[in-house]
Amino acid sequence: MAQSQAVSGMATVFERYNGASWDKIAEVYNISGPGMTRETIEVTNYDSPDGYREKIAGLRDAGQLTFSMNFRKDNYAVIKDDFESEDRVQYRVTLPDADATQMTFYGLVTELPLSVPEDDRITCDVTIEISGPVQLDDET
């Protein structure tokens, strides 16, 4: 019987490109995404075979990437600057698998809610709307 090759998410790295090099955003946890989807365009007509609807490929959308991070003023300030900016920023997620798989993309920070509970850590949940494709590893 084959042994599972599943990988724990522990040691995943989230980074942003500063124009010259990659800066790690510290204390990130619970990354979700990219949430890629693809539209279809229905092209069914009277000549469609066997009474089935026909569809062709439409636009792709890389969706969103969300993550949570423990509040640190330095990290929050960087992400807040991205939120305030009109420009797309390049981000990268490196997974802790044997290949150190990387996903690189451009995006806009669209949500930056801060949570300050009285009996737990201060956290921030970030939403990035991805613009364009997600490049996997050496596709960049």
Place of tokens 């494709």: 133
The CA distance from 44 to 59, in Å, is: 18
H/E segment holding residue 76: helix 73-84
Q: What's the predicted TM-score (pTM) here? A: 0.89
Per-residue confidence of the chain (140 residues) as pLDDT tens digits? 889 989 999 999 999 999 999 999 999 999 999 999 999 999 999 999 999 999 999 999 999 999 999 999 999 999 999 999 999 999 999 999 999 999 999 999 999 999 999 999 999 999 999 999 999 986 44
What residue ranges define each of the domains in the chain, with the CATH number in brackets?
Answer: 13-139 (4.10.410)
DSSP helix/strand/coil, 81: helix
DSSP helix/strand/coil, 5: coil
Residue environment code for 45-58, b if the CB has 16+ CB neighbours within 10 A, otherwise e: eeeeeeeeeeeeee
